[in-house]
Structures are given as structure tokens and as C-alpha cells.
Amino acid sequence: MHTVVVGTTGVTASDVLAVARGGARIELAEEAVTALAAAREIVDALAAKPEPVYGVSTGFGALATRHISQDLRSRLQRNIVRSHAAGMGPRVEREVVRALMFLRLKTVCSGHTGVRPEVAQTMADVLNAGITPVVHEYGSLGCSGDLAPLSHCALTLMGEGDAEGPDGTVRPAGELLAEHGIQPVELREKEGLALLNGTDGMLGMLLMALADLDLLYKSADVTAALSLEALLGTDKVLAPELHAIRPHPGQGASAANMLAVLKGSQLTGHHQDDAPRVQDAYSVRCAPQVAGAGRDTLAHARLVAERELASAVDNPVVLPDGRVESNGNFHGAPVAYVLDFLAIAAADLGSIAERRTDRLLDKNRSHGLPPFLADDAGVDSGLMIAQYTQAALVSEMKRLAVPASADSIPSSAMQEDHVSMGWSAARKLRTAVDNLTRIIAVELYAATRAIELREGLAPAPASQAAIDAVRAAGVQGPGPDRFLAPDLAAADAFVRSGELVAAVETVTGPLQ
């Protein structure tokens, strides 16, 4: 099994995905253990002094003015976890919980939080045992970090609350820890606060969305090319010299991908045949511009994610010179903004894909294809309602594109009077990514059927490879009306798994 070694720095996006989705094991590097111990010595020294230090010997948030005596500090740390584990609603997905736990461990191991080495080791042990705390949909405002979700994870470390075992059964966390020989932690000064004060949930979801969207943008380039072929469009608009004079990198990459898919097609370039036209519609001709803008948004979001991965997000933090200082680094605005940006770009990509699908089904705009790609139009409805489903998904995508990060709401007796809503931005982006996959799957379904209805004209070799692969995956081709939901589900799985891109790349080589 793959192992991820966590040091004081250097955790990558691929490490997060390996732990969250691949079940990779975790080991603490010796440098991390040393940094943890050194920072803890600083916290212990401050805890022994009579002067109050936030998070060490005071209350929290709006209650930070109260000095807490030494005999109450362990209780204080337990209480902050228990009281902040106040989530409600459906359970969050296992991969999200594993990502946020691993990212909190990453920050703990930076040596800036003051957590003892044994607490960090327990976090690694819980992940390695396949124990997943029950975390709920609602509870985070994105400041101070993802408080409620992280608190539910910290509760499991204490042997309290519920968690899912490696067999998928939810049980009391204490029982699961005991079965795996894991001793519950007894929290000391600052440790409860350090376990729940970070942007780890929203960052974990951002990293997974980036991986998913990278695949979906390639998939969208493929389906756009297939639709262009099915509509007897021209590939001249994809020429590199045209995109070189508007040098947005994403646009150039999308055009190059489409051109690679279309190489060798007999279907392109029929503008002056039976239904002459000067130009293709925007949804066809401007596909690289729209997808390219989304790709550039991905690049910006990836930069923000990399910076956040390199961050130690906690309050207060232990600095190398021995100071323990309060700060606002837990504010999720940088992550929240790009989560919202990605939802906007995804909605537009879904919208342009739906417009191409609609064009394929309209006999007045499809340049010779049968109405709704039906076998016997009138008796058969063809893909009429498949497009309805796609349109409903696009409409939902537009609602999901409304920014969460612009909707701050005050909390904690106005001490936390401006919040990021980054968790909410991440949760709706996950839905948007799922919907975008389905939208692309419907376009794939329509475009491959339309190409097969163009008798006597051979598609590009890469297009044929996609058609052959999707048919082998159980998505049926043209014919009389049938129960469509299973076909659409199979097309969705085909896109989601990466098989569409893989099939095309057997001809084109790696897409950009």
C-alpha cells in the first residue's frame, strides 16, 4: 500500500488524494516529531506562567477575556471539542472527512500549533485504521476555519461520538479505537483549539474538485469535438495561429485538444453542402474560448490551493522565535473565492454543452439529422427528454454558481463578525461537479448517436475510438425508443471513470 510521509512541509495535492481516496497509509517523519516536541515545550512554558495567553490559558472567541486556572485547562480543551461538535444534517462523504483530517494533521506536524507528538500520532493511527468520524453537512461558516466538522473529528480522537469503521458500519468511536488498539487522547493546553481551527475541509474539497474538473475539461473538449463533427462543422476555427493571437493558455489547450480529436475526420468542413452557412454557431465555434477560460480559472484555483497547502493555519500559532501570537490566518476567503469561481466556470461549461446538444436534436439546426435523433420521429421521441434532463441539470448549475463567499453572516456575539462561508462554497461545488459530469455524459450520448446517423461519412479515428469504447461500456447506439435512464447512467459512469478521455488518448496521445 502507498505510504505518505508527513514532515514539517511538502505535502502535495497528490498526497491528499492518495489518503482521501486511495486509503494511503501515513507515517510521521522524524523532523515532524522533533518540531512537534519543540513547539510543545514553548506552550508548556507559557502555560506555567501567570499571564494569560489566548488558547493556552484563556477561553475562546467572545469568551477569551476569562483567565482559566491550571486545574480547569484539560476540561477547557475537552469542552471546546464537545461544544463545537455541533453539526447537523446528512453525513459528509468519507473522502471529505479523510481529507480534512489529513490536512489538519499536516498543519499540526508543521510545528506551529503546539500539539504534542502523541496527539499527531493518534491522528495518523485513526486514519490508518480506516476509522472515519461522522461529520455533518452543516456547522461551518468558514471562520474560524471549519470548526464543527473538525470538532467532530477531534471528538473521535477523544474516543467520543460516532465514527464509521473500515467495514462501513457506524459505531461509538470509543469501541472502534479500542478494537484497533488506539488509546484516546487526553487533551492538554491549546490542543483542543489546534485540532479544530483550520480551513482543512474546504481545502480538501477544493483539491478533489480540481482533480475531477481537470478530467471533466478534457472530457468536454472531446464531446465538443464530437458535436462539431455531428453537426458537419468546420475545424478551421481551431487552427493554432488563430488562438496564438489571443494567447490565453487554456483556450489554446482546448483548441489543440479538439483539433487532435478531429484529425482525419470526413465529417468536418461541409459548410457549403446542401445547407450552406458561413460560420458555425457560437456553442460550436467558441467552445475553446469558453472551456479555455474555465481551464485558466482552474489554474488560478490550483495556485491558491498550493499556497494553502504550504500554510500552517491555526490561531494562535507558535513562531520560530518562541512567540505565540494570535492571527486571522484561519479566515477562509482565499479558498472560498476560488471555490465559487470554479462553480461559475463549471456552470458555463455545462451551459454551452447543453446548447450543442439541443442543436443536435433540432432538425432546423442540425443540418440533416432526424428530429431528436429519433428512429421514427413522431412514433419515437428519441432524445427529447434526455435533453430535458440535461437542461434541468444546467439550471441547477446556474443556481449553484451563486457565490457563497459573498454571504457573510456574523456569529459568536459579533466577535466573529465576518466569515468566509468557504465550507458552503465547497459543498455546492461538489454538487456542481457531479452535475457537470452528467451534462457532459448527455452530450456524449447525443453526439455519438448523431455521428452514427451520418451514413457514408467516417468520423475521425479518435472519435471512432470514443464511440467504440462507449458502446462497449453498455451505452447503446441509434434505434427505436427504449428505457433511456440506464443508457444515461452508463454514459455518466463512462465519463466519470475517465474512460472517455482514455479511449481518445489511445489515438491522440495525452490531451492537454
- Catalytically annotated residues: 54
Q: What is the DSSP string of 95-131?
A: HHHHHHHHHHHHHHTTT-S---HHHHHHHHHHHHTT-
Nearest CA to 404 among 66, 144, 142, 131?
142
CA distance 66 to 73: 12
Cβ pair 137, 90 in contact under 8 A: yes
Alpha helices in 263-332 (DSSP H): 282-285, 287-309
Burial label, 376 (beta-carbon count in 10 A; 0-12, 13-18, 19+): exposed
Locate 422 and state its grid cell.
Answer: 468557504
Cβ pair 494, 469 in contact under 8 A: yes
User: What interhelical angle do 461-472 and 249-262 show, nearest 10?
Assistant: 80
Locate 472 and state its grid cell.
Answer: 462497449
- Which secondary-structure segment (H or E) carries 395? helix 384-400
CA distance 202 to 199: 6
Q: What is the DSSP string of 351-378?
A: HHHHHHHHHHH-TTTTTSPPGGG-SSBT
Q: What is the DSSP string of 25-51?
A: EEEE-HHHHHHHHHHHHHHHHHHTSSS
Number of residues in the chain: 512
CB neighbours of residue 485 within 10 Å: 10
Backbone angles phi, psi at 506, to 5 degrees: -65, -20
CA distance 222 to 444: 9
Nearest CA to 44 among 190, 144, 187, 254?
190
Burial label, 246 (beta-carbon count in 10 A; 0-12, 13-18, 19+): exposed
Cβ pair 354, 439 in contact under 8 A: yes
CA distance 115 to 55: 12
Locate 402 and state its grid cell.
Answer: 451563486
